[in-house]
């Protein structure tokens, strides 16, 4: 993953303007950019204004899950806990975001889940004419290349 920035595109100009009004004082973490600046930030052909989150980015879900899967997760009387090499972390809520494989955990084994294909599609880096330097979000999202994919 990388904290390379995130562009959020909008089809509805009025929705973008409502956000511009609501977050007008938040230039330290959120900027409203025109299509030309969106093109420069993303290295992609963008035809509309966007929100730019300069300090945001993306994570490689498979790598994160593999890493977290190496640590013990359990629930005590107060909270969920995970043991890491940096110490123990406590949380009120744990999101188990591994799709239909969530039933492999003792606490979620009885949850009725079904597998739905197509949540993430990986493309070879040379599949696109231009590939993004940042995350570009719209109806789906596109991330920069991760090791050629």
- pLDDT at residue 137, rounded to an integer: 86
Question: Which among 31, 35, 21, 22 has a CA at the least distance from the CA of 54?
Answer: 31
At 43-98, the pLDDT tens digits run 988 888 999 999 999 888 778 778 877 888 888 899 988 888 888 989 998 877 76
The H-or-E segment that residue 68 falls in is: helix 61-68
At 20-44, the pLDDT tens digits run 888 888 888 899 999 999 999 999 8
- pLDDT at residue 147, rounded to an integer: 66
């Amino acid at each position: 993953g990388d904290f390379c920035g995130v562009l959020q595109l909008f089809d509805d100009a009025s929705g973008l303007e409502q956000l511009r009004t609501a977050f007008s004082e938040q230039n330290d973490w959120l900027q409203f950019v025109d299509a030309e600046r969106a093109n420069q930030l993303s290295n992609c052909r963008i035809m509309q204004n966007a929100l730019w989150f300069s300090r945001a980015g993306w994570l490689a879900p498979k790598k994160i899950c593999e890493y977290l899967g190496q640590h013990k997760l359990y629930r005590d009387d107060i909270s969920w806990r995970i043991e890491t090499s940096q110490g123990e972390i406590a949380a009120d809520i744990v999101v188990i975001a591994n799709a239909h494989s969530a039933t492999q955990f003792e606490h979620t084994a009885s949850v009725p889940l079904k597998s739905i294909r197509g949540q993430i599609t990986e493309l070879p880096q040379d599949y696109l004419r231009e590939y993004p330097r940042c995350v570009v979000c719209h109806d789906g999202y596109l991330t920069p290349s991760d090791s050629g994919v």
